[in-house]
Amino acid sequence: MTIWTRDTTLQQMAESARNSAVTALGIEFTDIGEDYLRGRMPVDHRTVQPFGILHGGASVLFAETLGSVAANRCLRRDDQVAVGLDINANHIRPISSGWVIGTARAVHIGGTTQVWEIKIETETGKTVCVSRLTMAIISRQESARPAG
């Protein structure tokens, strides 16, 4: 049984991320399953740190991207939006080239919060990073309010 409440294509996800950090880092959405969203990110000059390995911050941005997009496809009402509340990441293995594949799966989908686990792996399935993302579910009107 699917967890999704909104029909969104991979193409629509890509279009909504245009002109953002998502496209700047080369992140692509590749697969939508019954209970997961998958994407990939290149390990290249845009995503490595000075030692030539994948930058931890790039991994976290990738994880939050997948979890945030997935969370917003699970909302129960059209007047809601899911926004990041907390994220953590454990960097397990370095990688210096190729692609990393990320898969976001829900741990909890509630009315006010969601929790997502994002596993980032090499193309051969070795774990690079494991991240947990907590999303707050707020009204669209609240999200449009200026800070302060």
Active site residues: 64
**According to DSSP H, which parts of 3-139 are helical?**
10-16, 21-24, 56-72
- Percentages helix, strand, coil for the chain (3-state, rounded to 5) are 20, 40, 35
> CB neighbours of 148 closer than 8 A, spacing ≥ 6?
none
Distance CA 43, CA 16 (A): 23
Indicate left, alpha or beta for 73 from its phi (over 0: left) and psi (-120 to 50: alpha). Answer: alpha
- Rg (Cα) of the chain, in Å, rounded? 15
